Structure 1
Amino acid sequence: MKKVLKPLVMIFLIMNLSGCGMMMMQQQQQEQNDFSEQQEPTSSDSDLSSDAGSEQNSSESFSDERRIVSLIPSNTEILHAMDMNDEIVGITTVDTYPEALAENPDVEKIDAFEFDIEQLLALEPTHILSHESSRAMHESVLEQFETETGAEVFYVRETETVDGIPETIMDIGKFIGETDKAEETAEDLEKDIDLITENMSGEETYDVFIQISRSPEFYTTGDNTFLNDVVEKVNLENTFGDLEGFTSVSMENVIERNPDYIISVSGVDTDGLNEEVAQFPGIENMTIESEDRQCAVDPDLVTRPGPRITEGMMAISECLTR
């Protein structure tokens, strides 16, 4: 078994926009250069770096209207849970929820991997929500954007636990000035998490293999990841919980450990998972050969640290008790 660095499992983490490599660092530098070129002063119009522009270095740089841009899907889902849809003017191209935003043509879709600074400027945001995992990609550009336009930028801290989500909600609420809404959302989520956890605590514990992808080896998660914590939260044991972080394992490794269930978060549906498992070499006589031991879970529900985590926990629970 070989360890795989977190940034290389983008097939799993793309919804969190983490990992980018040298190509993205080069893209970031180009964007910073592009930004600077756009701010060159002209004789006919004061630019953002002029004396007049320097006075805009606050939330008053635009209108009193709050205009929020979310650069990671989990942030968008938290804002939605706080009933902030009407103030969101931009989300990422990989946002899928809520559909009211993802399918709204008036809400700009931003490719966070190929940052278009002109697109961001046109939105005139007052608040930009990024994430710690994408700081290397965006920090230089957003720092200059913040200085020159007065927009506020916040990098949400990465959480590796389900119990850390309410704190993330509170952080976002404080940033956008909606602490009451954030507190209500966080408290409701905490209650739901506690209820699910309590209900599952009396259930039988199973050993589960978490399949993130397979090409050609399996990618799974070990200890100290958000996904591992989700599994433990519903009273299950991770087959490869003795490993650290995201890792690749062979079919021989899976056969040797013979898990009670396979939980796929690769995006495949139940029928697709059934067909895939049937083709596993050496699947004969393994417990997960039975289709009732195969669970296909929407990855957005269990990999995005937001309010819908309870739906993901319930999806796992329902599969185990069907």
Structure 2
Amino acid sequence: MRLPATAFEERPGDTIARASCRPPRPLRGWGDFSRPALELRVRSLLDGCEIRNQKRRRNHRPVARTDTKAPFLFLVLLVTAALGLLASCGGDDQPSGANSPARHADASGAQPETAFPLTIEGSDGVAVTLEAPTRRIVSLSAHATEILCAIGAGDAIVAVERWANCPLGSNEKPALDAYQPNLEAIASYNPDFVYVFSDRDGIVEALRRVRIPVLYLKLPSSIDGVLEQIELFGRITGHTAEAADLVRSMRQRIDAVKERISDIQVGPRIFHELDPTYYTAAPNSFVGDFYNILKARNIAEGAETQYPQLSAELIIERDPEVIILADQGAEVTPEAVKARPGWDQISAVKHDRICAVDPDIVSRPGPRVVDGLEALAKCLYPERFQ
């Protein structure tokens, strides 16, 4: 049995149940101002070539360049200026690459600009290299669309996956179906970047064959993974400061929730209902991570899959103290749960602890996951979260 597509970006058993987020490789580019690196760059200019620090993958969409030899006097001036810059910094060698201070926030909290070319490795091990911030994005994922919109990159989106738009709740952007992707439809928007979370119908290789830059990156498997992807999309679009601000705000809210339950050792037993046939979320799933943070005891502990289907008998036996309803489109109510045969024996039913939550904020790994965490905290600890 499959859940409605709106319950997740992926149904149980599909890629959301196996999602993982792999951070991009650190880069060494023109942001490296150490003396050896700068001297190497100057020598490369004198030879009329450009040193590349990242190997190109076969899927990279080449960008035409025109190399011209500068007059010798100009190059002399360039060398002089470069050495003067080094001298003004005291001549000390600085670390380069991803760990360079130039790539981190300064003492005031300001975020640096992303260094391009930017290379990101996908979940399939294939990298995409971007020469500049993306300006025409096809987002074949509702969670990515929400992230892009939240960090101020909505203007760069030319088409979206049909379950989320930008602004959220609008129909402003044309919609595509990520579950039945169409190469011609995607290409018609002339994208300079396509994001997919699932390789449906071989769409990733199809896009690469027509030289459209595509990043195949699976959905985050945890809330920390969501924060990492927000920062990644900030770098891809050139909105690093906005992404950093959003992540900072989300972390503060997460920390505030953790602080309120810091003295609790073990939380209540929970059953998170995904649909009326008793699909649920195990502790090692994305949805399960909410309850890990909230110190809840998940009755799906020990399940063989991330999104198992439980029997009514097992649910009654494990006696959840709180039942959370996230039944997208099924319109299951607390009253309907109470009327189920034998469920009057369950503690959550006896004590009227049945909560209905918006499935999108607890199933979609985007910027609203903090709303989901706070909503679930109120369900589990109503006396602490008013």
Tell me which amino acid in the other structure corresponds to 1:305. P
Q: What do residues 194-213 of structure 1 show as CA deviations (whole Å, max 9, x unaligned)?
A: 22222233457211011111
Compute the TM-score of the two structures, normalised by the length of structure 1.
0.73
Q: Which residue of 2 aligns with 1:164?
A: 225
Q: Which residue of 2 aligns with 1:196?
A: 257
Q: 1:262, 1:294 within 8 Å by CA — same for their partners in 2? A: yes
Q: Which residue of 1 aligns with 2:178?
A: 112
CA distance in 2, matches of 1:84, 1:157: 21
Compute the TM-score of the two structures, normalised by the length of structure 2.
0.62
Q: Alpha carbon RMSD of aligned pairs, Å? A: 3.0
Q: 1:274, 1:291 within 8 Å by CA — same for their partners in 2? A: no
Counterparts in 2 of 1:233 and 1:80: CA distance versus 1, 3 Å: same
Q: Which residue of 2 aligns with 1:187?
A: 248
* Larger of the two Rg values belongs to structure: 2
Give the structure with the larger strand fraction: 1
Q: Which residue of 2 aligns with 1:92?
A: 161
Matched, 1:11 2:38: no
Q: Which residue of 1 aligns with 2:203?
A: 138
CA distance in 2, matches of 1:227, 1:59: 44
Matched, 1:303 2:363: yes
Counterparts in 2 of 1:20 and 1:319: CA distance versus 1, 3 Å: closer
1:191 Cα deviation from its structure 2 partner: 2.0
CA distance in 2, matches of 1:306, 1:113: 19
Q: Which residue of 2 aligns with 1:69?
A: 138
| Residue of 164, 178, 196 corresponding to 2:239 | 178
Q: 2:153, 2:237 within 8 Å by CA — same for their partners in 1? A: no
Q: Which residue of 1 aligns with 2:378?
A: 318
Tell me which amino acid in the other structure corresponds to 2:379. C
Gaps of 5+ in 1: 1-7, 22-55
CA distance in 2, matches of 1:9, 1:229: 22
Q: What do residues 159-212 of structure 1 show as CA deviations (whole Å, max 9, x unaligned)?
A: 221122111112222223333332232222222222222223345721101111
1:59 Cα deviation from its structure 2 partner: 9.4
Matched, 1:223 2:283: yes
Q: 1:70, 1:88 within 8 Å by CA — same for their partners in 2? A: yes
1:58 Cα deviation from its structure 2 partner: 3.6
1:135 Cα deviation from its structure 2 partner: 6.0
Give the structure with the larger helix fraction: 1
Gaps of 5+ in 2: 15-60, 66-132
SS in 2 for 1:247: coil
| Residue of 193, 204, 208 corresponding to 1:127 | 193
CA distance in 2, matches of 1:124, 1:20: 33
Q: Which residue of 1 aligns with 2:267?
A: 205
Q: 1:9, 1:246 within 8 Å by CA — same for their partners in 2? A: no
Q: Which residue of 1 aligns with 2:276?
A: 214
Counterparts in 2 of 1:188 and 1:272: CA distance versus 1, 3 Å: same
SS in 1 for 2:280: strand
CA distance in 2, matches of 1:208, 1:193: 20
SS in 2 for 1:154: strand
How many residue pairs match? The answer is 268
CA distance in 2, matches of 1:110, 1:257: 42
Q: Which residue of 2 aligns with 1:264?
A: 325
* Percent of aligned pairs with the same amino acid: 28
Counterparts in 2 of 1:87 and 1:191: CA distance versus 1, 3 Å: same
CA distance in 2, matches of 1:136, 1:59: 31
Instruction: Report which stretch shifted further, 239-248 or 293-302.
Output: 239-248
Tell me which amino acid in the other structure corresponds to 2:142. P
Counterparts in 2 of 1:103 and 1:20: CA distance versus 1, 3 Å: farther
CA distance in 1, matches of 2:64, 2:291: 41
Q: Which residue of 2 aligns with 1:82?
A: 151
Counterparts in 2 of 1:180 and 1:69: CA distance versus 1, 3 Å: same
